[in-house]
Chain A
Amino acid sequence: MVNGAPSVRALHLVDRFVHELVVALLNHGMHPPGSQLVRDGLRDVTATLRELLTEARVDGLALEIQGELLRAFGRDLIAASLQAGLLTGLCARSGVRSLTFARGLEPAEFGRFLAALFECGTPGADLPRALAAHGVRHVTAEVEPGTQARAGNTPRGLRGYRELTSFLHDNHIAAFRGEDLEVDRAQGVVEQAIDHIEREPSALLTLASYDDIDSFTVGHSVRVALLALHVARAAGVAQGDLVAIGTAALLHDIGKSRVPQEILFKRGRLDPDEWRLMAQHPRLGAEILLEQRNLDPRAIGAAFCHHMSPDGGGYPVPTLRFAPSEVSKLVRVCDVFEALTAARPYKRALTPVQAYAVMFASAHDFDPTWLRFFARTIGLYPLGTRVQLSTGAEACVVAHGPDPQRPVVRVAQGGPGQVPLAGTNLTIGDLVDGEPVRIAAVLGAGAERTEVAEVLRSLHCGGGTRAGHC
């Protein structure tokens, strides 16, 4: 390792590597070893590792596991940690405190590493021995026998957020396999989310703003659920109904688990046949949910109706014409706002202001009352939005006041422009050094991949392998 801090690109590649590792792990548990998805996943993760090691000019990547938090190059990997529950869980059970991935790791060997990791999913398992037994030479595990992995400086709400993503991961897999969903678990995770929102409204949404490298169904659904819960709370909905609404929003895209993955993760425009299959996901979702016992019926409606617009547009075209329920109308608004403001592998996010401009320009696509109430509640700068202040400091929106242009922000620790305000809360418009502080820019984390090759990949099936059935 050369001296000095890793480049921004290297840090981005670490996030991508961990994400692809998690995807490969999920695929390993779901699909036959020789399947295209598994092979593509292994190829992607090892290619990213090579790129990362070259960029960082090191011979190996040491991934530290500190409780629920992953670290590399001495930094917390918050975005990667959000999706890495399965990985950290497996490591914790066998006392692994770090994994080192060395240059020369090839796809087949990476597959054997995953097999060894899965074998060691029981307490007291010996991962180093399993790695040796599987002939894995380019991954080494450092173990602290008999000790619990150290808890890292875990961000607030991380466990709650991961509970939500883990619930969705598991249920998407169950739906994919045609098994029963864990409906009873939904109530617990949604109640926990509501509790977080009540205690610290910005905590989960702040994490959600990091979660932009996911495979865009799980992270998307969690963010839609959080938005719906915020708006429903503001509308004065009672606790019991909040749980049902949160569950409905969380499961609204469950039908995508039955859309072929090569279509779901295709980068680029779908052809008419593919589109017909994709457009089935609301109906498939309603079918999946109808098969579940003890599920609140409003989840079925939200799954079916979240792409239907009030003027009869959208899909699916129902057998008989009808108007969606208020819950479904709200979920639709949250769904589109989230889709516009989230990063994707092939696009960066729109800022909330840009997203509102698009949505109000297409207002016939949404229930007008809910669109307006949503905008009023979520505001110009939604909770959790990361911004750059006119002082140069980075900050995160933590509360709203009566003036939508003057949210309360918490100034981030470290970095240029933060001193001496680091860690303090400011209301936009407050005087700092005699000048009213303002929001200069909205910050995000999502590459703008505008290279021709990348765009072409987005237009061809199989070009992208951001698999992971989620």
Chain B
Amino acid sequence: MIRLDGGPRARRHRSRAEVERDSALPSGLFDCQEPMVEAALIDAAASVFLQKLGHPPVPDPDEPDVLPWQETVDEAAVASCLEVFAGLGDEPVPDLMAGLEDERIWVLIDLARHGTGVTRQRATYEVRELLRGLAARSGEKRALLRDLATQLAAIVGGGAAPVLFRALLLEARTALRCASPAGGGGEEPPW
């Protein structure tokens, strides 16, 4: 329930808080500013209600309807933010170069499945080349290959899997065998 009392700024803050709290938007919508549109809509609706009730909103001299705006620093919000900052510590950050090759393989598989035309062919070719390359790099990327083979095996085992997945599963199995310690004896295939 949006309260209608207070000035425009106070109403807007409350509206924003209400919308943020009540929003059931999925995380993917997070940067689509939908809550802000909703806040603006609620604010406008509140103004209409006030006008209908015979209480037109009093213009706020501090808040012109055009540029520029200013947002008073909310000491409580700053304090709460500083509390979070204080708890951050100096933890080390991960190596920014980590996970790039793995990500490339996963993305290529997706594009090989969902891409269009030439992109699909190119993605298919590249991912197969990458998997073959992994087979030659003995001992590397076993976790990736195991995860890949497991997921592919589950899909292929479910029946009606695209030919692409069967082919990739074969590549992944081969690479996994080659990547196993001592030339392939030690790795139990995950299928």
The CA-CA distance from A309 to B30 in the complex, in Å, is 11
In the assembled complex, B41 has its CB within 8 A of some CB on chain A: yes
Please indicate which of the listed interface residues B26, B32, B67, B81 has the most CB atoms of chain A within 10 Å of its own CB: B67
- A441 in contact with B110 (CB, 8 Å): no
Of B42-50, B133-141, B181-189, the one contacting chain A is: B42-50
8 Å CB contacts to A: which residues of B101-126?
A: 102-104, 106-111, 113-116, 118-119, 122-123, 126
The CA-CA distance from A21 to B56 in the complex, in Å, is 37
Q: A301-B103, A339-B32, A370-B93 are in contact. List 10 more A-B contacts (CB 8 A).
A: A279-B28, A318-B106, A326-B94, A330-B96, A405-B78, A442-B73, A444-B71, A447-B69, A452-B48, A455-B44
In the assembled complex, A323 has its CB within 8 A of some CB on chain B: yes
In the assembled complex, B152 has its CB within 8 A of some CB on chain A: yes
Instruction: For residue B49, give the distance in angstroms from its CB to the closest CB of chain A.
Output: 11
Of A62-70, A127-135, A165-173, A282-290, the one contacting chain B is: A282-290
- B69 in contact with A446 (CB, 8 Å): yes
Closest to A278 in B: B32
Q: If the complex has contacts A286-B107, A344-B36, are A444 and B115 also in contact, measured as CB distance less than 8 A?
A: no
The CA-CA distance from A86 to B36 in the complex, in Å, is 32
Instruction: For residue B13, give the distance in angstroms from its CB to the closest CB of chain A.
Output: 10
- Chain A residues near B37 (CB, 8 Å)? 267-269, 346-347, 455, 458-459
The CA-CA distance from A283 to B100 in the complex, in Å, is 17
Chain B binding surface SS class: helix
In the assembled complex, B66 has its CB within 8 A of some CB on chain A: yes
- Chain B residues near A444 (CB, 8 Å)? 68-71
In the assembled complex, B88 has its CB within 8 A of some CB on chain A: yes
Q: How many A-B residue pairs have CB under 8 A?
A: 230
Q: If the complex has contacts A326-B98, A405-B82, are A269 and B28 also in contact, measured as CB distance less than 8 A?
A: no
- B110 in contact with A318 (CB, 8 Å): yes
- Chain A residues near B115 (CB, 8 Å)? 283, 287, 290
Instruction: For residue B111, give the distance in angstroms from its CB to the closest CB of chain A.
Output: 6
Residue from the list B28, B66, B72, B102 in contact with A325, Cβ < 8 A: B102
In the assembled complex, B31 has its CB within 8 A of some CB on chain A: yes
Subset of 18 A-B contacts with CB under 8 Å:
A8-B68, A307-B28, A320-B148, A321-B151, A326-B94, A339-B33, A340-B31, A346-B37, A347-B40, A351-B73, A353-B74, A353-B81, A357-B81, A404-B85, A442-B71, A449-B40, A450-B47, A458-B41
The CA-CA distance from A277 to B68 in the complex, in Å, is 35
Instruction: For residue B73, give the distance in angstroms from its CB to the closest CB of chain A.
Output: 6
The CA-CA distance from A336 to B25 in the complex, in Å, is 15
Residue from the list A313, A330, A370, A454 in contact with B26, Cβ < 8 A: A313
- B72 in contact with A297 (CB, 8 Å): no
The CA-CA distance from A356 to B110 in the complex, in Å, is 33
- B30 in contact with A365 (CB, 8 Å): yes
Instruction: For residue A79, give the distance in angstroms from its CB to the closest CB of chain B.
Output: 10
In the assembled complex, B77 has its CB within 8 A of some CB on chain A: yes
Q: If the complex has contacts A353-B74, A370-B93, are A445 and B69 also in contact, measured as CB distance less than 8 A?
A: yes
Residue from the list B31, B95, B119, B152 in contact with A320, Cβ < 8 A: B152
Per-position 1/0 for A426-452, Cβ under 8 A of B: 000000000000011111111111111
The CA-CA distance from A440 to B28 in the complex, in Å, is 34
- Chain B residues near A448 (CB, 8 Å)? 12, 40, 63, 65, 69
Which 9 A-B pairs have CB atoms at the shortest separation, nearest pair first?
A347-B36, A339-B31, A325-B99, A322-B106, A325-B103, A301-B103, A441-B70, A314-B28, A313-B27
In the assembled complex, A319 has its CB within 8 A of some CB on chain B: yes
Of A151-159, A197-205, A373-381, the one contacting chain B is: A373-381
- Chain B residues near A440 (CB, 8 Å)? 72-73
The CA-CA distance from A388 to B71 in the complex, in Å, is 9
- Chain B residues near A335 (CB, 8 Å)? 31
- A304 in contact with B30 (CB, 8 Å): no
Closest to A7 in B: B66
Please indicate which of the listed interface residues B31, B36, B93, B99 has the most CB atoms of chain A within 10 Å of its own CB: B93
The CA-CA distance from A53 to B26 in the complex, in Å, is 44
- A304 in contact with B95 (CB, 8 Å): no
Closest to A315 in B: B28
8 Å CB contacts to B: which residues of A302-361?
A: 304-305, 307, 309, 313-316, 318-328, 330, 335-336, 339-340, 344, 346-348, 351, 353-354, 356-358, 360-361
- Chain B residues near A351 (CB, 8 Å)? 71, 73
Residue from the list B27, B47, B111 in contact with A452, Cβ < 8 A: B47
- B109 in contact with A320 (CB, 8 Å): yes
- Chain A residues near B123 (CB, 8 Å)? 290
- Chain A residues near B85 (CB, 8 Å)? 375-376, 380, 404
- Chain B residues near A270 (CB, 8 Å)? 32
